[in-house]
Structure 1
């Protein structure tokens, strides 16, 4: 049976593009443009996935998902939004979404995120109290996303995917915008402070994340 998706997007062009793309991938898509339409539809039908824009008529997408969660609706949800401030992103995850895509984005990116959720068999990696999703390259602590910058995220992915092995300094340098020994030390110390991960300097070779 096709995955049933409820898409909330008030932008005519984007909504039509996403609906057509998802249908071409074999998903059963219901596209609506107002928050109240979601409330009406979810009263009578169960969906497999919600894709919500935030700034839509009637009811804010964040408030909408929060109301659904309060009604014990645990349907997986993705936010797509032009809001890129950290407060909106954090609230999106706190409200119960599993992903947040910032506009503008390539429509195909949405397909990748959906596949990562429903088709990937790659589970979360548990490591020293941190949960890491390799498919989405996102870290969580106690179910809450850990805010990481681009450099920290790239370093974390290298360490998590090479646990117990020394990561060569040259590979780590590629994660930096302005590579230098000092910049690498600062970036790794910041990553350790943010995540609490035990990353050790292996003199003359590189760095290693101790076995989980």
Structure 2
């Protein structure tokens, strides 16, 4: 997963990032609330971990602003504010969890995994033996161990699944590419087809069809 961590305690931020990255996640750190908006403008994240008392803009206002902009990325608060009013406000704003400082990094990791297990169960789409979460890109049923599709392949597969059995135009599919071109689309679709072992038909000059199973 790609995680954005808002934490102005440099030592804590560094230790949390190192711990989560050992589990295979990618963590970007920012120290102030305004920097969150710069980061989210550049990148798409799977999770926000937000401290509350930070420079520029507090964590409550940050999440409220993100929500108002239509950003539904799950967020966890980590804070030394342990009063009931602060905890209640965090959940009212839309946080999926609230962790009181100090805490063991392993507890944070476990809570993150629980959140995404629940989200995956809620949003999973089945296609033959494949179970696919269009939000996280998690795939089960292809290899012995689950894996995650990259952002481009995730978007393409989600779009094909929405219209399985029907034609999806090349122009629409190319919108998911970082550098769209007919050649790039052909290569990416071939890789997706091979990676998942699925039947995708190329209708020359028009688009692609994910065959029904």
TM-score (norm 1): 0.55
Mapping of 1:1-212 within 5 angstroms?
3-119=1-117
Distance 1:121-1:95 versus aligned 2 partners, 3 A rule: closer
Q: How many residues of Structure 1 are paired with residues of Structure 2 in the alignment?
A: 122
Shift of 1:43: 1.4
CA-to-partner distance for each residue in 1:28-67, whole Å, 9 max, x for gaps? 1101111111011111221000000000000000110001
Shift of 1:122: 9.6
Cα RMSD (Å) = 1.7
Shift of 1:121: 8.0
Uncovered stretches (5+) of structure 2, i.e. residues with no partner: 123-213
Uncovered stretches (5+) of structure 1, i.e. residues with no partner: 125-212
SS at match of 2:106: helix
Distance 1:121-1:73 versus aligned 2 partners, 3 A rule: closer
TM-score (norm 2): 0.55
- 2:132 maps to none
Q: What is the distance in 2 between the residues matched to 1:46 and 1:92?
A: 22
